[in-house]
């Protein structure tokens, strides 16, 4: 929450944040109050909710969730995501063999959508969040604006990540209607859904204000 203040006689724009003014805002009722320097958790003077300057343990929590998501990314790709059984026999498909199957059948758009949504996007999100967390940990002051934009993109993609689970469900429904084959979701689906959910929570735990904490110096412009 930064605010721009113009000081008379000073043409440089000064950025004032609640933190730089030793203030903290309550997440429950919005009351802005002085930041207490106590070891105990500070409580809101008006509504008694716990107030904190930044998301508590943001970096540790983001890492824990990212590492879990990265581990689950392996079974999500190795284990079958669909199990097809028909008179001709049964077949297990992982995400990659599924993509290959659609591609070979000439369903190029579907193959591309599944490849982007279930292989490319999850790995790019994991890498981007890891990069942002490392940069904050190293107290980097490099390109804060671009890093904030990257975070916004990662956070925004989150709500579309379930698209792939949706595509799988839709395929299952369509195939069930059109053929005698019976398709059920494989164990990879659970791992994949976990990757999506864990990455989504990881991006919620990451506090983008931490990016600016390392560059915020009074009297300095960032753009
Ligand atoms: Zn409050």
**pLDDT tens digits along 18-60:** 888 889 999 899 999 999 887 788 999 999 999 988 888 999 9
Q: Report which of 110, 114, 112 is spatially closest to residue 163, judged by C-alpha positions.
A: 114
Question: Are β-strands 32-34 and 14-17 bridged in parallel, bridged antiparallel, or unpaired?
Answer: unpaired
Residue 92 sits in which domain range? 58-211
CA of 25 to the centre of ligand 1 (A): 8
The answer to whether the beta carbons of residues 3 and 18 sit under 8 Å apart is: no
Which range has the worst mean pLDDT, 10-19, 38-47, 85-94, 192-201?
10-19
- For the chain, the domain total comes to 1
Of 76, 89, 79, 85, residue with least CA distance to 183? 85
> What is the H or E stretch that residue 148 is in?
helix 144-157
73 is a domain residue: yes
Residue 40 belongs to a domain: no
Residue 177 alpha carbon to ligand 1 centre in Å: 54
34 neighbors 22 (Cβ within 8 angstroms): yes
Per-residue pLDDT tens digits for 103-139: 998 889 888 888 888 888 889 999 999 999 999 999 8
Alpha-carbon gap, residue 139 to 127, rounded angstroms: 18
Give the distance (Å) from ligand 1 centre to CA of residue 48. 6
CA of 196 to the centre of ligand 1 (A): 32
Element (H, E) at 65: helix 58-78
174 vs 133, which has greater pLDDT?
133
C-alpha 136 to ligand 1 mean position (Å): 28
CA of 26 to the centre of ligand 1 (A): 5
Domain for residue 26, yes or no?
A: no
What integer is the mean pLDDT of 77-86?
86
What is the Å distance from ligand 1's center to 46 Cα?
Answer: 5
> What is the whole-number distance in angstroms between the Cα of residue 200 and the centre of ligand 1?
27
What's the CATH code of the domain at 110? 1.20.140
Scanning the structure block, which residue is given the tokens 């929450």? 1
Going from the Cα of 51 to the center of ligand 1, the distance in angstroms, rounded, reads 8
pLDDT for residue 48: 93
Whether 20 maps to a domain, the answer reads no
23 occurs within a structural domain? no
> Does 64 fall in a domain?
yes
């Amino acid at each position: 929450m930064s605010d721009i203040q113009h000081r008379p006689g000073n043409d440089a724009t000064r950025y004032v944040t609640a933190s730089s003014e030793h203030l903290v805002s309550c997440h429950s009722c919005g009351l802005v109050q002085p930041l207490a320097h106590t070891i105990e958790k500070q409580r809101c003077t008006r509504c008694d909710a716990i107030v904190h300057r930044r998301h508590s343990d943001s970096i540790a929590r983001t890492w824990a969730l990212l590492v879990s998501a990265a581990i689950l990314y392996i079974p999500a790709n190795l284990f079958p995501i669909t199990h097809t059984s028909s008179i001709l026999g049964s077949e297990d498909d992982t995400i990659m063999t599924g993509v290959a199957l659609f591609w070979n059948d000439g369903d190029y758009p579907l193959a591309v959508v599944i490849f982007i949504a279930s292989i490319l996007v999850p790995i790019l999100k994991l890498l981007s969040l890891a990069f942002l967390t490392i940069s904050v940990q190293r107290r980097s002051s490099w390109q804060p604006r671009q890093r904030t934009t990257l975070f916004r993109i990662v956070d925004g993609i989150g709500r579309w990540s379930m698209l792939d689970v949706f595509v799988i469900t839709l395929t299952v429904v369509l195939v069930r209607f059109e053929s005698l084959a019976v398709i059920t979701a494989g164990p990879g689906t659970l791992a994949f859904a976990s990757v999506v959910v864990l990455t989504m929570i990881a991006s919620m735990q990451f506090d983008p204000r931490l990016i600016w904490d390392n560059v915020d110096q009074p009297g300095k412009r960032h753009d």
